[in-house]
Amino acid sequence: MVEEQPHGPFAGEIAPSEEVPEFSVQKVFVAGNIGMCVGVRNSLRMAHEVTDITKEHEDVYAPHELVHNVVAMDKLSKKRLKIQPDLLQIPIGSKVIFPAHGTSPDDYKTAQERNFTVFDTVCPIVTGVRERVKNAIKKGGYQVVYVGVEGHRETEGMMGEDPHNITLVQTVEDVEELSFDDEQPLIAYSQTTLSGLELADVMKKLRKKFPSMKIPPKRDICFAAESRQLAVIGMLDISDLLLIVGSKTSHNSQVMRQLGEMRRIPSYSIDYPHQINPSWFSKDIRFVAFSAGASAEDDTVNANLKWLTDRGAEAEFLEPIVKEPNVTIKFPEERIEALRAEYNNMPHHLNLFIED
């Protein structure tokens, strides 16, 4: 599980950024693999396109955060995106956006029953793991052991696929408690945003306890999450402090922060520049490793970097530590055009939006 952050404010605990008389940071190493992944970028583009069209007419809904980023969701809330976990409370016929990390099968069923217009932005990597899990159960008769974080939306969605045939584990200790019939074929999959380190330990234990368990050679960790973790590891030997732009709810951001803590380097995650605590930068802090989680938007990353460079630190932009695959997600332009046409043809008297 993600540990509580040791110092500094989060969203909702805002402290002013004061000038530091002895701010002595000389250089900020900016990770070469940094920031938004293609799945998050696609989800946010969809949400902004939809709400730009609908905001003067009606609310748009989502069952939970589209992406695990406070800043991104704050922007969308101002465009009338409402979070409503209970889909039965959403008006029949509403526009609903499903998030990048997926949602439960029950949500898809409810959406159909209530005639929602659904814009599904689930990441294809998440979908790929789900499909492999479902095929393993239905075609192979496997009991699936799923390595994930309890309460994480991606894991909740996966467990909803087949709670009787999917068993969740988080730690090596959880594996110790597992018990299956000798004849039961077993296979393991994982949440896409785990760290390679935490996954490796659990998989090693699974192999030892269940030698016949099938562990697919292709790991399920998202390439974006893994490349950002590797980039952080590559900066730690030359840095005195690690600063991650990413929300407390973002597992991949918190994994990156924990990589620094494991090396006993002061490590913090923030959303907004005004959450940066000047007291973090004592006279001994001269080199800062700087990165951002896969759900942090470019302007947010740049604003936090600017806080450091405005105080005299030099930014050194590092080369990517690994080359990421060129993945594209086809954007449904025709659906956006159809939505725009729907509102363009709406009689003026049906515009019920009232500005504050």
Structure tokens that stand for 253 in this block: 């951001």
Q: Are residues 43 and 114 in the same domain?
A: yes
Q: Are residues 165 and 149 in the same domain?
A: yes
Nearest 10 degrees: Cα torsion 304, 305, 306, 308? 100
Q: Are residues 151 and 200 in the same domain?
A: yes
**Residue 355 domain-assigned (yes or no):** no
Domain around 192: 125-209
Residue 291, helix vs strand vs coil: strand
Dihedral sign computed on CA atoms, order 150, 156, 158, 159: positive
Question: Using 50, 70 and 90 to split pLDDT, how confident is the model at 352?
Answer: very low
pTM (two decimals): 0.84
- For residue 36, the 8-state DSSP code is -
> pLDDT digit string (tens) for 209-223?
999 999 887 667 788
Q: What is the DSSP string of 212-280?
A: T-B--SS--S-HHHHHHHHHHHHHHTT-SEEEEE--TT-HHHHHHHHHHHHTT--EEEESSGGG--GGG
Q: Are residues 82 and 167 in the same domain?
A: no
**Residue 4 domain-assigned (yes or no):** no
Tally of domains within the chain: 3
- What is the mean predicted confidence (pLDDT) over 166-179? 96
Residue 290, helix vs strand vs coil: strand
- Nearest CA among 99, 14, 116 for reference residue 63: 99
Q: CA-to-CA distance for 182 and 165, rounded, in angstroms? A: 16
In angstroms, what is the C-alpha Rg of the chain?
22
Q: Are residues 251 and 313 in the same domain?
A: yes
Q: Which amino acid is at 310?
A: D
Residue 110, helix vs strand vs coil: helix
> pLDDT digit string (tens) for 236-288?
999 999 999 999 999 899 999 999 999 999 999 999 999 999 999 988 999 99
Last residue of some domain: 209, 242, 273? 209
Strands of 267-270's sheet in order across? 267-270, 241-245, 287-292, 27-30, 314-317
Q: Are residues 229 and 311 in the same domain?
A: yes
* pLDDT at residue 216, as a whole number: 81
By the 8 A CB rule, do 232 and 260 touch?
A: yes
Last residue of some domain: 185, 209, 233? 209
Q: CA-to-CA distance for 41 and 35, rounded, in angstroms? A: 10
* pLDDT at residue 18, as a whole number: 52
Q: Are residues 105 and 156 in the same domain?
A: no
Q: CA-to-CA distance for 31 and 318, rounded, in angstroms? A: 6
Q: Are residues 32 and 43 in the same domain?
A: no
Q: CA-to-CA distance for 102 and 126, rounded, in angstroms? A: 7
Catalytic residues: 154
Residue owning tokens 């690994």: 322
**Residue 16 domain-assigned (yes or no):** no
Structure tokens that stand for 100 in this block: 């990048």
109: how many CB neighbours lie within 10 A of its CB?
Answer: 11
Q: Are residues 112 and 131 in the same domain?
A: no
**Residue 322 domain-assigned (yes or no):** no
Q: CA-to-CA distance for 250 and 35, rounded, in angstroms? A: 12
Taking 90 as the threshold, does the pLDDT of residue 324 lie above it? no
Q: Are residues 95 and 140 in the same domain?
A: no
φ/ψ (deg, to 5) at 119: -110, 105
- What is the mean predicted confidence (pLDDT) over 68-89? 97
Q: CA-to-CA distance for 246 and 259, rounded, in angstroms? A: 14
**Residue 251 domain-assigned (yes or no):** yes
Q: Are residues 156 and 241 in the same domain?
A: no
**Residue 305 domain-assigned (yes or no):** yes
CATH number at residue 229: 3.40.1010.20
**Residue 231 domain-assigned (yes or no):** yes
* pLDDT at residue 303, as a whole number: 97
Structure tokens that stand for 315 in this block: 């930014």
74: how many CB neighbours lie within 10 A of its CB?
Answer: 12
**Residue 356 domain-assigned (yes or no):** no
Q: Are residues 234 and 306 in the same domain?
A: yes
CATH number at residue 80: 3.40.50.11270
Do the bridges between strand 241-245 and strand 166-169 make them parallel or antiparallel, or are there none, so unpaired? unpaired
Last residue of some domain: 186, 209, 232? 209
